[in-house]
């Protein structure tokens, strides 16, 4: 069963959980993947509700989202799925099918082709309407040293929220 919600009802819950990780799911043609993200959230820009996510260009997810221009975000509501979030935050699609490894279900979305994580409670379906690779020339030095010294750059994806709901029985 699906519980309908308004777009900002659970924005606080997103911020509460994102520190522990939430699922960012992408699909292009027959390839489906999910990874854990810890940065992002629901914001309003240009008078529209958006879900912002940041993806390093070294991720398999980056290749998929660049081609599909859409994504879903799935959020455990009760502090669950910690083991799955740990695996999806450390393993890449390039080494393992994380759905199989974690026993996660790719459940069909309602408005876009990308599925949601069936085991999680709260879901957002998003279409990328803008993206911005970080300009390292203006990133604060302390941030640069900490996050980009050895690592690939992040692109910020602005996902216009197409749908949001709770899957009852999800964690």
Ligand X SMILES: Cc1cc2nc3c(=O)[nH]c(=O)nc-3n(C[C@H](O)[C@H](O)[C@H](O)COP(=O)(O)O)c2cc1C
Which positions touch ligand X (CB under 6 A)? 21, 33, 35-39, 54-56, 59-61, 89-93
- Of 4 and 19, the one with the shorter C-beta distance to ligand X is 19
> Given the complex with ligand X, which of 140 and 169 has the nearer CB atom?
140
> Which residue's CB comes closest to ligand X?
89
Q: Minimum distance from CB of 133 to ligand X (Å)? A: 12
CA distances from 63 to 53, 67, 69, 78, 152 (A): 15, 7, 10, 31, 13
Name the E strands within the chain: 2-4, 22-28, 31-37, 40-45, 48-56, 70-75, 106-107, 116-117, 122-133, 154-167
**Residue given tokens 């692109």 in the structure block:** 155
- State the minimum distance, in angstroms, from the CB of residue 3 to ligand X: 26
Q: Pick between residue 93 and residue 120 the one whose CB is nearest to ligand X.
A: 93
When the beta carbons of 5 and 82 are compared against ligand X, the nearer one is 82
Residue whose CB is less far from ligand X, 61 or 74 = 61
| Minimum distance of ligand X from residue 4's CB (angstroms) | 28
Cβ-contact 40, 56 below 8 angstroms: no
Instruction: Specify whether the CB–CB gap between 50 and 112 falls below 8 A.
Output: no
Whether residue 159 contacts residue 50, with contact meaning beta carbons closer than 8 Å, is answered with: yes
Question: What is the nearest approach in angstroms of ligand X to the Cβ of residue 148?
Answer: 12
């Amino acid at each position: 069963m699906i519980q309908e919600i308004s777009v900002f009802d659970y924005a606080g819950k997103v911020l509460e959980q994102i520190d522990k990780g939430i699922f960012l799911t992408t699909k292009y043609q027959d390839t489906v993947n999910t990874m854990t993200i810890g940065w992002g959230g629901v914001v309003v820009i240009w008078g529209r509700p958006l879900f912002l996510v940041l993806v390093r260009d070294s991720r398999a997810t980056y290749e998929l989202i660049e081609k599909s221009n859409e994504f879903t975000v799935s959020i455990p509501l009760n502090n669950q799925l910690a083991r799955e979030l740990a695996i999806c935050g450390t393993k890449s699609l390039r080494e393992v099918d994380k759905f199989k490894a974690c026993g996660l279900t790719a459940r069909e979305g309602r408005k876009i082709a990308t599925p949601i994580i069936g085991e999680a409670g709260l879901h957002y379906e998003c279409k990328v309407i803008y993206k911005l690779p970080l300009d390292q020339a203006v990133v604060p030095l302390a941030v640069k040293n900490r996050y980009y010294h050895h690592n690939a750059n992040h692109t910020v994806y602005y996902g216009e929220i197409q749908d949001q709901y709770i899957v009852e029985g999800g964690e």
